[in-house]
Structure 1
C-alpha cells in the first residue's frame, strides 16, 4: 500500500491575515510525498535534508485520510521538496496536498473525493498541527487546483479560480519566516487595503492586486519595499509572498530578467520559473 504524489508551490496575490480573504497562484516548483501504509498504528514522518524538521503536518494528513477512507492505518510518510521551508512559497500547503493525495492513492481512494475537498483535508491538518493562522485555504487551493484562486479562508470556500500564463521571478533571502509567528493584530490594521486587493482580485486584476498587497504587507510586517519599487515599472505584479521573506513578480520573461539583475545583487537565491495551471497530481 504505497502512494506517491506531488504538489506545486505558490505565490501570494492577497495575504489572508488581514481579513480572512486570500488569493494565491501556483508556480512550477514542487514538493513530492511518498506514503507507505501498514496495518500497525502510528504514523512516522521524515523530511528530506531536514532531519530535525517538524513532521506533525504530514503525519496528521495521513491520519485524517486513513481515518476517513481506510481503517486508521499507520505508516511512513516522507517528503522532498524544491521549495525552501518557511520562505513564503507555501511549502506547508504543497507538502500537505502531496501527502493527502499520496495517502489516497495508497488506499486506492483517489476517485472518492474531489480535489477541492482533498485540499480541505490538508487545511484541517495544518490547523491541527498549528502551522497556520488562517488555515491557508488560499495557498492550499492554488497548489491543489493550479492557476490563481481567491478564497474565503474563514469558511474554506473557493470564491474564484482563473488561469494565467505568467513567467515568475522569485527572490528568496537566506532568512526564514514562519507564518504562524506573524503579527496578526498588525496585519488586521491594514484591512481596508486588503479589501481593495480582494476587489481587484475578484475582478481578475491580479497584477495590481499583488502590488497593492505587497506594499501593504511589507509595511505591516516590516519588510523592505525596495524590491517592489525596482520591479513595478517593468512587471504586471510584484509582492511579498505570504509572510515573507520571499518576493515574487509576474509578467513577461524579458522584463523579469531585468528585475532579476537587481534582485541578484542581494543575498539569497533569485530564480525564474512559470505559473502552473494543472495543480497537484499523483505519480
Structure 2
C-alpha cells in the first residue's frame, strides 16, 4: 500500500509567537513524501540527502493518519486487525531548506499525512483542513513547533494566504493570491522550537495590529510591520528589509528566520535580487501557490 504527495513551502505574513494569531502564504517550492505501509508495526523515516535528520515528525504523521483513518478494509489488506500493527516507511525529498523559516516542517508533515491517506485509499475522502490539523498534532507531539504552526501548515495545505488562530486551530480567513516572491536565505539555521517566546510575547500589541491588517487583506503592509517587529524580538538585522523598501509591496523575516521574503512586481524583485545577492547565502525568485498539498 503506497502513497505519494507534494506540499508547498510558505512565507510569513504574521508570526504567531506573539499572540497565537498567525498568517502565511504558500510559495512554489515543494516537499515530496513517499509512504509505503506494511504489517511491520514500526514506521521508519528517511530524509533524502540528510541521513542524520530527525524523522520523528514524519513518522508520527504516518502513525496518526493510520490510527485516525485506517479503516477495516485497509487494515485487512495489510493483514492486521489493529492500527498499531501497521508500520512502513516514509521518505521525504525537499526543495525547501530546513530550519530556514520557510515552513519545511509543515510542508513535510502535510505531504506525509496526505501520502499516508493516499496509501490508505482515503485521500479524496478527508477534508484538507482535517488532514492539516493531523500534521499539526504530529508537530506538537514531535516537539518541532512552539505554536502548533497551524498558520504555516494551513497555507501549505490549502494554498494562497491563510490567517489562523493557532490556539484553537481555527481558520479565520483564506484568499487566493498571485504574487511574485523573492526569498533570501542566509547560510545559518534557526529552529522554531528554540525561539525566545517571552521576547516575542512582548510585541503582542504590534502583532494585533498586523492581524487586523491581514484580516483586512492588507497583506504587504502586514508582513512589513511583522518583519520589523520580529527582527527586533528575535535579534535579526533589519537591513535586508531596508534593502527592499519602499519599492516592494511587502517584506518580512519569515517565521523565526533566518530567511527573508519579499513580494511585489517582478521587475522590482529582480532589482532587489541583485542587492540581496551581495549578501552571503542563497537568493531565489519564485511565485505564490494556490493549489496547496496534493497527491501525486
> Structure 2-normalised TM-score?
0.95
C-alpha displacement at 1:131, in angstroms? Answer: 0.1
Give the structure with higher Rg (CA).
Answer: 2
C-alpha displacement at 1:92, in angstroms? Answer: 0.1
Match of 1:132 in 2: 145
CA displacement, residues 117-139 of structure 1 (integer Å, 9 cap, x when unaligned): 00000000000000000000000
Figure out how many residues of one structure are paired with residues of the other and give that number: 283
Match of 2:43 in 1: 43
C-alpha displacement at 1:157, in angstroms? Answer: 0.2
Distance 1:35 1:15 in 2: 31
Q: 5 Å matches for 1:58-137?
A: 58-70=58-70, 71-72=83-84, 73-137=86-150
Q: 5 Å matches for 1:1-283?
A: 1-70=1-70, 71-72=83-84, 73-283=86-296
Distance 2:126 2:119 in 1: 14
Runs of 4+ that moved beyond 2 A? none
C-alpha displacement at 1:13, in angstroms? Answer: 0.1
C-alpha displacement at 1:112, in angstroms? Answer: 2.7
Distance 1:161 1:235 in 2: 22
> What's the secondary structure of 1:13's corresponding residue?
strand
C-alpha displacement at 1:217, in angstroms? Answer: 0.1
> Structure 1-normalised TM-score?
0.99
C-alpha displacement at 1:40, in angstroms? Answer: 1.8
CA displacement, residues 146-203 of structure 1 (integer Å, 9 cap, x when unaligned): 0000000000000000111000000000000000000000000000000000000000
Distance 1:251 1:125 in 2: 34
Name the Cα RMSD after superposition. Answer: 0.5
> What's the secondary structure of 1:112's corresponding residue?
coil
Distance 2:278 2:267 in 1: 18
